Amino acid sequence: MNIDAKIYVAGHRGMVGSAIVRRLEQAGYHNITVRTSQELDLRNQAAVAEFFTQERPDYVVLAAAKVGGIIANNTYRADFLYDNLLIQNNVIGQSHLHDVQKLLFLGSSCIYPKMAPQPIKEEYLLTGPLEPTNEPYAIAKIAGLKLCEAYRAQYGRHYISAMPTNLYGPGDNYDLQNSHVLPALLRKFHEAREQRRPEVELWGTGTPYREFLHVDDLADACLHLLLHYDGAAPINVGTGEDLTIRELAEMVRDITGFKGSITFDRSKPDGTPRKLLDVSRLRDMGWQPKIGLHEGVTAVYKEVFLEPKATQVTE
């Protein structure tokens, strides 16, 4: 990837897209093209076509998506499926029509079957039913992955896909109704400490296992894949290590300094029992994460909740 190549990062204001832009700039790539959603609605085929005609990017990183946690996924099921299909169909399709040299599609570990064997290998895709609460989002991501495969098979396009595990880091969403589990925990425990509450109540049983990756590590992996990978198979991106939600909650309690107890509302859903990615393919390519979970969560908590500029926690 030539240092002067024009790289379009779709979704540059999101947690993933902004991290990828930072990593590309750190590596010396200076010809990075971005658009806000106000400037370019990726659901609008004509607008996307006009953008590609004008800009002619050499590389595309598709990090734009409609995303959210378990509540948002289960509530806005039609929106998550429809909007994500439009976004990825338009960007991938126009990349083909305008001869983009290489495209990286960012999927999600939720594409794998709910009861997939652990750790989850890439070949387990489409071998069983999905987790019902985020099925529409997962189906959209599977469609995007398969569209990249199809353009590769039919037209010889160099389109690749990466499947990240659960992410956290700068630029995350802390709205309790729409956020993922880790940012939600950070906000809940921080506010409980500030308000001196005696306990924090969490959804489910606390027994599901989850894996977490700092978004800066994901961005580093994405650059590694752009430079060193050109295969049809999706590539898992994670740490290869997990912990229970209860263990995560206890870690966040310690990091935030909350002194109260933790209780669980067992009437609420747990989601997938375990979701640990097999990351052996990526490790075999010479990449592994650098940021430990406790280190990363501590840094994020200080940046978002304790520094004077901390404004991301408001809805």
Binding residue numbers for NADP(+): 11-17, 106-109, 141, 164-167, 180
DSSP-assigned letter for residue 277: B
Please report where in the chains the tokens 């870690």 appear, as a residue: 251
Q: How far is CA 262 from the centre of its chain?
A: 27
Q: How far apart are the first and last CA of the chain?
A: 39
Strand ranges (E), 37-108? 59-62, 102-106
Binding residues: 11-17, 106-109, 141, 164-167, 180, 188, 203, 210, 270
Confirm whether 137 is a catalytic residue: yes
Q: At residue 271, what is the residue type?
A: G
The count of C-alpha atoms lying within 13 angstroms of the C-alpha of 98, restricted to the half-sphere facing its C-beta, is 22
Binding site as annotated, residues for substrate: 188, 203, 210, 270
Q: Determine contact, residues 198/92, Cβ cutoff 8 Å.
A: no
If you search the block for the tokens 């400490």, which residue do you land on? Answer: 193
Query: Which is the catalytic residue, given 137, 151, 159, 229?
Result: 137
Q: How many CB atoms lie within 10 A of CB 292?
A: 12
Say whether 303 sits in a helix, a strand or coil.
helix
Kind and range of the H or E element at 164? strand 159-164
Catalytic residues: 137
